[in-house]
Amino acid sequence: MLLFKKKFLPAIRSGEKTQTIRLWKHRRMRTGQRSYIPGAGYIDVLAVDEIALAELTDDDARPDGFTSAAELQAELAALYTDELAAGYRAYCVRFQLTSQRPLNTQA
């Protein structure tokens, strides 16, 4: 499961936000995995790549819902203060929304 602030959910549901950057000790997701975003729906994980935050460009920031790399980096610094200080790795998770409601598992 991937959790997001409520302000990002409309962009995820519309398909505007198609990636997220997370700071983890170790990779927590893998390409091809299916996951769930509460308030948005199910996603297919298209790629999980380790990245260098200092090398982010404006083009990298747009699929994440930001207009510039500086804006994205400021948000990450605010969200991940402890993780950045502890040397966690940054991962870019690219995803595609596949369903906006839970699948009916009853036959």
- For residue 102, the 8-state DSSP code is -
Give me the residue label for tokens 């009853």: 106
The CATH architecture one would assign to domain 6-99 is Roll (3.10)
- For residue 25, the 8-state DSSP code is S
Adjacent-strand bridge partners of 95:
45
For the stretch 24-67, pLDDT in tens is 999 999 999 999 999 999 999 999 999 999 999 999 999 999 99
Q: pTM for this one?
A: 0.89
Q: Show me where the domains of the chain are located.
A: 6-99
